[in-house]
Amino acid sequence: MTKKILLIYTGGTIGMTATANGYAPQKEAFHQLLHSMPGLNADVMPEWDIIDMDPLLDSANMTAHEWNKIGGMIADHYEAYDGFVVLHGTDTMAYTASALSFMLENCRKPVVLTGAQIPLCEVRSDARDNLLTAMLIAGEGVVKEVCLYFGGSLLRGNRATKFSSDGLIAFISPNYPLLAEAGISIKYNTSALLKPQRGPFRLRRMDDVPIGVLKIFPGIQFELFEAIMTEKLRGIVIETFGAGNIPGSGTALLPIIRRAYANGTVLTVCSQCPQGAVALGAYETSTALKNAGAVSGYDITTEAAVTKLYYLFSCGFDTDSVKHLMESNLRGEMTRRDASEEK
Ligand code: ASP
């Protein structure tokens, strides 16, 4: 039976067309282009419908509000379609993919995010392959999780990070194998796929949780950042050097950590290195973080850490549970045993 895919167009370069004021998302022109694309309407392709986010956005403007809109569109049509392809700007695609991976609880259908570096209307556009292959992957239904297809590779959504602002291979998955590679044929890496989730599908909406990200650099004057450590801040991701190291054996950061602790702010440690994991306590320079109650993000991306904090606080967990779950694997976002396998 022919599969049915819902295309959700949110904006971004893929659907932009030339206007008097430069490239801008143009719903009608983009729909026309799609309907006249021979490949997309070929017999071998799944059937498709398209709906648009309103307004269409450059993905730099995405917030939890838009994640809820996109998640809502998937949830509203979950039963009617075999899979979903979300057309999205590349700038924050890895954040949206991560957010959706948490929000779509027990999702057992393919949700493939894709976009392009060059608009579909252009001769050298990378949109054609990205879109057509994403549609085929969604139609084949081998991968039943939130993923991101770009430049020949299928990545787990919450493992992806944008690494090139102008290359046609714009995303990498530094700490997890590719889910599939699209060469002459699409080869799935079946052992890397998420085990099908049990339980009823449901959408968990995200709240506007106040989250921070602090990148450590040589000579950082921590006192300048103390002001952001207010009671309002629910969680902060600290991007440390290497395996979790901060300057000054952590002593300069201590006032900040203590304040975070007193306020119940969850402090998650990630690495600035795209590849590898945080190992708190391995060096003296990270022990202070560990002793002060910071949690390790292990090999999680900053994108997944930020959206996981949003998600866990939106679920209403208390601080201790959020800390515990930040160190547990929920959707394949970190190389750790699953939360469900813990005693
Ligand atoms: N600024 C654009 C966006 O993220 C870039 C892109 O789509 O590639 O919406």
pLDDT tens figures, 38-65: 999 999 999 999 999 999 999 999 999 9
Options 13, 90, 161, 240, the catalytic residue = 13
pLDDT of residue 246: 85
Q: What is the pLDDT of residues 91-117, one digit of tens each?
A: 999 999 999 999 999 999 999 999 999
- Report how far ligand 1's centroid is from the alpha carbon of 93 (Å): 9
Distance separating alpha carbons of residues 128 and 273, to the nearest angstrom = 32
Tell me if 119 CB under 6 Å of ligand 1.
Answer: no
Tell me if 58 CB under 6 Å of ligand 1.
Answer: yes
- Report how far ligand 1's centroid is from the alpha carbon of 155 (Å): 18
The whole-model pTM stands at 0.95
Tell me if 90 CB under 6 Å of ligand 1.
Answer: yes
Residue 144: CA atoms inside 13 Å, Cβ hemisphere, count? 15
Q: Whose CA is nearest to atom 1 of ligand 1?
A: 58
Supply 246's token pair. Answer: 């901060």
Q: Is 17 labeled as catalytic in the residue annotation?
A: no
Tell me if 164 CB under 6 Å of ligand 1.
Answer: no
Tell me if 329 CB under 6 Å of ligand 1.
Answer: no
- Report how far ligand 1's centroid is from the alpha carbon of 42 (Å): 28
Ligand 1 binding pocket mutation candidate from 16, 53, 91 (most atoms within 8 A of CB): 91
pLDDT of residue 249: 60
pLDDT of residue 93: 98
The ligand 1 atom nearest the CA atom of 117: 8
pLDDT of residue 337: 61
pLDDT of residue 343: 42
Q: For the chain, which residues score pLDDT lower than 70? A: 249-251, 337-343
pLDDT of residue 338: 63
Contact yes or no for 310/254 (Cβ under 8 A): no
- Report how far ligand 1's centroid is from the alpha carbon of 201 (Å): 30
Tell me if 245 CB under 6 Å of ligand 1.
Answer: no
